């Protein structure tokens, strides 16, 4: 018998299949809560169709501020009929619907989690320029064409993925900036293991989602991942 909860994710050729940082955030929440679920794989060109079919509401717009932006994760809960997009909204839904499971967004930290996401997007946005070509390379052919077309048109102002990837001195500078951004989060957390001190929260799943993404995209043996493991007392590998 299938579990009532379905998590929709984007497939890849990477070992273990799942790679998307935002879907990983929702998956961490489901695992933390111990809720059974199954994964359904949706190629990029089919995400909009999934939204239409399930009546999912899009929280995001493209850069024009008007056109809907269709992203995963989407979670469908057959026991309530709810269909939710956005990993943080999924965490909120699961906290509310399954109050006997461990809380992802502890009481009083709801607005803080929005502020945290806002601050983190400003920082880890820099990661995308490094990973865009490698992400492309692990997708299935159907998704590759869609990914290249939409990225180059919507976020790279017509440059190709390969042109947009930082190179040489610029690459070194941007990588140093990324390390510096991680350094700020390290400073915020001081000696704490988790973002809230002793308590695990969605903030930790969010940082972990980004980190796992880098490890999957580059590979655990890559120079990039090994470099990150040396940053800030080895905090990121431990997390």
Residues forming contacts to a second copy in the complex (CB under 8 A) are 106-112, 114-116, 118-120, 122, 184-185, 187-190, 192, 195-199, 203
Helices 87-97 & 21-33 angle (0-180, nearest 10): 10
Rg over CA atoms, the chain: 18
Say if residues 27 and 61 touch (Cβ distance below 8 Å): no
Shortest separation between residue 6's beta carbon and a second copy, angstroms: 27
CB closer to a second copy out of 80 and 114: 114
Structure tokens belonging to residue 125: 């946005």
Integer Cα distance of 137 and 143 in angstroms = 10
Q: How far is CA 111 from CA 108, 116, 203, 212, in A?
A: 8, 9, 12, 25
* DSSP characters over 27-89: HHHHHHHT--EEEEE--GGGHHHHHHHHTPPP-EE-TTSSSEE--S-EEEETTTTEEEESHHH
CB closer to a second copy out of 52 and 115: 115
CB closer to a second copy out of 1 and 190: 190
Shortest separation between residue 210's beta carbon and a second copy, angstroms: 14
Shortest separation between residue 224's beta carbon and a second copy, angstroms: 25
Say if residues 3 and 130 touch (Cβ distance below 8 Å): no
Integer Cα distance of 137 and 134 in angstroms = 5
Say if residues 133 and 217 touch (Cβ distance below 8 Å): no
CB closer to a second copy out of 191 and 223: 191
CB closer to a second copy out of 41 and 112: 112
Shortest separation between residue 12's beta carbon and a second copy, angstroms: 30
Shortest separation between residue 179's beta carbon and a second copy, angstroms: 15
Integer Cα distance of 205 and 195 in angstroms = 10
CB closer to a second copy out of 47 and 127: 127
CB closer to a second copy out of 100 and 198: 198
């Amino acid at each position: 018998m299938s579990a009532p909860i379905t998590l929709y994710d984007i497939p890849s050729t990477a070992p273990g299949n799942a790679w998307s940082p935002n879907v990983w955030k929702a998956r961490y929440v489901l695992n933390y809560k111990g809720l059974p679920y199954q994964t359904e794989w949706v190629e990029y060109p089919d995400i909009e169709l999934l939204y239409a079919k399930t009546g999912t509401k899009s929280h995001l717009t493209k850069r024009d501020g008007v056109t809907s932006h269709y992203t995963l994760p989407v979670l469908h809960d057959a026991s309530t009929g709810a269909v939710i997009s956005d990993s943080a909204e999924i965490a909120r839904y699961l906290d509310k619907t399954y109050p006997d499971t461990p809380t992802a967004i502890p009481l009083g930290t709801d607005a803080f989690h929005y502020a945290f996401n806002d601050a983190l997007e400003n920082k880890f946005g820099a990661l995308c320029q490094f990973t865009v070509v490698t992400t492309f390379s692990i997708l299935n052919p159907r998704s590759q064409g869609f990914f290249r077309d939409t990225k180059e048109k919507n976020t790279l102002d017509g440059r190709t993925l390969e042109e947009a990837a930082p190179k040489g001195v610029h690459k070194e500078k941007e990588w140093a900036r990324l390390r510096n951004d991680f350094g700020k989060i390290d400073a915020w957390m001081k000696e704490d293991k988790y973002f809230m001190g002793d308590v695990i929260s969605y903030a930790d799943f969010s940082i972990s989602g980004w980190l796992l993404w880098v490890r999957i995209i580059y590979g655990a043996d890559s120079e990039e991942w090994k470099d990150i493991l040396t940053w800030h007392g080895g905090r990121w590998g431990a997390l």
